[in-house]
Amino acid sequence: MPRVLATTTPRPVPLVRALVGREAGDVVVTRGRTAENAGNLAPGFVAAMAESYGGTRLGRQELDGELIEEVEGALWTRDLIEACRVRHVPGMLARVVVAVDPPASAGGDACGIVVAGLGGDGRGYVIADASVEGMRPEGWARAVAAAAMVHGADRVVAEANNGGAMVESVLRAAEEKMPVKLVHASRGKSARAEPVAALYEAGRVAHRGAFPELEDQMCGLLAGGGYVGPGRSPDRADALVWALSELMLAKRGEARIREM
């Protein structure tokens, strides 16, 4: 009865994926995090590694023991997001918006809340994921108001397909002077996300820090339609799309002098 004990970083190579997904019942998978081995490591090592790699794909793989796979046909890849990650935003932000993907029901579904800003360099910066779960309208509206206040947002963009009047009223109830702009989705989530994904590919968007839950949803949106990421809906990713669309893709009037 030959047996093998294999210890490895869970890289998504074919062999590891095949073993983890094996249904024959002859493979036992045990996972461990680096922090659980802190007693056998040099003092400060875990803290130093978490500071450098916490939340990133590499950190989740190497420190948390997660098997993170790429989804074929996804609009975003892990490598693309990693290439767009920065520690700090250079200079001041010209604009800051908070985008909201309200839950479809009052029963406590997740509410996507993402904060993004436009840098003086013309680049979009994702600076916070303030999404909340399990809250009624007044609860997620307060979370939106708090995010807007903390980050000095000049506008709140909220999807209004599911009860637009209600969305605006609960947001204004949380903060009367909140500058709310309602937007209506005329296309599916993936179709709306495609031009935003193109901004990432062009190097025009960066993430200040890491947002694991948001990034997992981004990597689950499929080109041409469909979603295979965590949760029932890409609420966080949808809020990100609304925020960056407002900052970088919205059509704005421009004064011009025309010869007669």
> Where does the chain show beta strands of DSSP type E?
85-86, 93-101, 112-119, 124-129, 155-159, 180-183, 205-208
Please say if the pLDDT value at position 51 is more than 80.
Answer: yes
CA distances 177 to 7, 70, 166, 171, 247, Å, are: 56, 43, 16, 10, 21
Identify the pLDDT of residue 161: 73
Q: Are residues 211 and 88 located together in one domain of the fold? A: yes
CATH number of the domain to which 201 belongs: 3.30.420.240
Please say if the pLDDT value at position 72 is more than 90.
Answer: no
Please say if the pLDDT value at position 127 is more than 60.
Answer: yes
CA dist 110 and 155 (Å) reads: 21
CA dist 175 and 116 (Å) reads: 20
Identify the pLDDT of residue 12: 67
Compute the C-alpha angle 192/159/132, nearest 5°.
105
Give counts: helices (H), strands (E), the chain: 9, 7
Average pLDDT of the segment spanning 36-60:
83
Are 137 and 171 spatial neighbours (Cβ–Cβ below 8 Å)?
A: no
As a whole-number percent, the residues of the chain with pLDDT over 70 amount to 88
CA dist 171 and 141 (Å) reads: 5
As a whole-number percent, the residues of the chain with pLDDT over 90 amount to 42
Q: Are residues 46 and 169 located together in one domain of the fold? A: no
Provide the 3-class DSSP secondary structure of residue 156: strand
Identify the pLDDT of residue 258: 46
Q: Are residues 37 and 130 located together in one domain of the fold? A: no
Range(s) of the domain holding residue 202: 78-248
φ, ψ (nearest 5 deg) of residue 117: -135, 160
Average pLDDT of the segment spanning 208-219:
92
First to last CA, the chain: 91
Please say if the pLDDT value at position 132 is more than 50.
Answer: yes
Q: Are residues 56 and 164 located together in one domain of the fold? A: no
For residue range 151-197, what is the model confidence (pLDDT) as tens digits? 999 999 998 876 556 777 888 777 777 788 988 888 888 899 999 99
Q: Are residues 88 and 177 located together in one domain of the fold? A: yes
**Position 212 in a domain:** yes
Average pLDDT of the segment spanning 28-57:
85
Q: What is the pTM of this model?
A: 0.75
Domains in the chain: how many in total? 2
Strand partners, 111: 132
**Position 180 in a domain:** yes
For residue range 83-98, what is the model confidence (pLDDT) as tens digits? 999 999 999 999 999 9
Please say if the pLDDT value at position 255 is more than 50.
Answer: no
**Position 5 in a domain:** no
